[in-house]
Structure 1
């Protein structure tokens, strides 16, 4: 699949990753440590949710950074560096600033109400730390990307084409991610928000996401050819992490597992999801506002539903439905309101 065409599988991966993010955050509400990382916590935990969550938690955020880097490659086919920076300022920095002063404080108010604390206005990045990282990566890397984009036969592309043309080259790309854990020593590995580990891992993922699309068919054909091998390796590494290391594997092994998962996910999406459709068009445009808003409806749903005399699994399902419904109902309002659209990253 040549890179001059729109890659619908990458659009689908962005949508799926945002959906998983919302479900993952809802699951944290039902963990016995949720309050300690700023979530409203259910008095009745569902600790059995944690094992499937651990399968997701080492690749779901890196995947979003990879996809974001890929998106910059496609964006720069139609824009020079000034146009890219202006477009990303409108679509990332403006929603970040608005969210920091108007969205994050709302879900903090709800948290304060649930725990009977005094109300305090507390602006900040909160869950929007991801946007800050992406904007910094664009600022730092766009000059390099501009040079690479102008020279279709650049040296980096030639080198990576050779590396990514075989499975051992794929493993070589995992090296910088493994080295990052050795140097930074993240504890736990899965803590990305507002940490140096999250920043460095995101930077690497964003950079290589761009490079994978720049290399083109060579990369996609390699990961497709070895998709089942990568899936089996990822499952094996997860099994080791779960049963041998009790989910506390060395950071370099978790980094390797994360990259292998991402190779497998990219390959299966390349095969099965590279198709347009009305559902994708709707969800792709709605993913950004849903990401910005989801913590408000997650916290509001928790505030309303957790005190009810319901089975804990019914509470979980009800909060999921409440959160998704609230997010998409708000999106319907936002996309129809001209003044709100740019505040949520819409054109």
Structure 2
């Protein structure tokens, strides 16, 4: 089945991973950094927490939505055996490799920085996201292939008709609200390795698939009503800051989160749905960068924090160091050492393709080479 290329979804994944890097760097300058295993700066920038709070309620749910969308496109071209095999290669293999060989690196840097006894142990760390995605695929793939068979059913047509209204997409917030009412997370934004993060991610993953499955209706709705969604998101965010001191009822956070996400989908559909060499490169780089960024960030923190320079300059320098370090490792290591590719979620390059111009020859349908791709 031929599917239309959706470059805006590719762009949103790249942007979300970029925001993830900035967010993790900002944690270094928060007073609670060490409580979640980050190196902490002696000089803090607590003012960063307000913009971080704006991002924090939607940045991870957005990635789960986009991941589900990527699986929709994969399902269109594969049977269930091919899907499980392909996702095992793209998700499970990098996850296992990362747990064994990548995550322990930033643990060792943390131990060295604080003069703790050095010790290796495997841990999933920030790769919990990959574990969740793989489990969701195992849970949902029978349903996804069933939906593929009933695409033209009366049920699907009714849902698609409901999605024509601005309340249509927002109605899925009911499931997110039920999740927080049942699970009762202590902190809404604690997604990593929590039941709240698991179930919230599962809901977003499913509806990411479902929104693409029902067709163009969803996209036309978020395109038409994008400013309404953005206005609601800003209003709810302002209320969170002024009325609730950043801690409103969790069900309000689910509504604000989805308003942000649907506004972003609408804006992305309008302005980002176009190909380009930059997108081609960044789409391939995003997954490896996600895997390696934490140990690069910890190395940057260890090197830069001891310097006697203004704290804002430390923040900017760590951002630059992390970005450049990830680029160097990807460009001159992962991308050029062909046998490393599968361990970072990329296709194993054939001998004929092991040249420095390989990216220029990638077919458009292969632009996105990671688990949340849309091809």
Q: TM-score, normalised by structure 1?
A: 0.98
**CA distance in 1 between partners of 2:155 and 2:49 (Å):** 41
**CA distance in 2 between partners of 1:246 and 1:299 (Å):** 31
Question: Equivalent residue for 1:248?
Answer: 247
State the Cα distance separating 1:155 from its structure 2 match: 5.1
**CA distance in 1 between partners of 2:98 and 2:252 (Å):** 35
State the Cα distance separating 1:168 from its structure 2 match: 2.0
Q: Give the 4+ runs in structure 1 shifted more than 3 A.
A: none
For residues 285-308 of structure 1, the C-alpha deviation after alignment (integer angstroms, 9 at most, x for no partner) is 000000000001100000000001
- 1:241–1:248 contact (8 Å) kept in structure 2: yes
1:345 and 2:345 are equivalent in the alignment:
yes
For residues 238-290 of structure 1, the C-alpha deviation after alignment (integer angstroms, 9 at most, x for no partner) is 00111110000100000110011100000000000000000000000000000
For residues 211-261 of structure 1, the C-alpha deviation after alignment (integer angstroms, 9 at most, x for no partner) is 000111111111111111110000000001111100001000001100111
Question: Equivalent residue for 2:134?
Answer: 135
SS in 1 for 2:185: coil
Mapping of residues 31-42 of structure 1, within 5 Å: 31-42=30-41
State the Cα distance separating 1:153 from its structure 2 match: 1.2
**CA distance in 2 between partners of 1:327 and 1:154 (Å):** 47
Structure 1 gaps of 5+ residues are none
State the Cα distance separating 1:54 from its structure 2 match: 0.4
Comparing 146-155 with 308-317, which one deviates more in the overlay? 146-155
Question: Equivalent residue for 1:266?
Answer: 265
SS in 1 for 2:309: coil
Question: Equivalent residue for 1:54?
Answer: 53
**CA distance in 2 between partners of 1:303 and 1:52 (Å):** 25
SS in 1 for 2:120: coil
State the Cα distance separating 1:159 from its structure 2 match: 3.5
Structure 2 gaps of 5+ residues are 348-375
1:21 and 2:4 are equivalent in the alignment:
no
- Change in 2 beyond 3 A, CA 1:118/1:154: farther
Q: TM-score, normalised by structure 2?
A: 0.91
In the comparison of the two structures, how many residue pairs are matched? 345
1:336 and 2:330 are equivalent in the alignment:
no
SS in 1 for 2:339: coil
State the Cα distance separating 1:170 from its structure 2 match: 2.4
Question: Equivalent residue for 1:97?
Answer: 96
1:45 and 2:44 are equivalent in the alignment:
yes
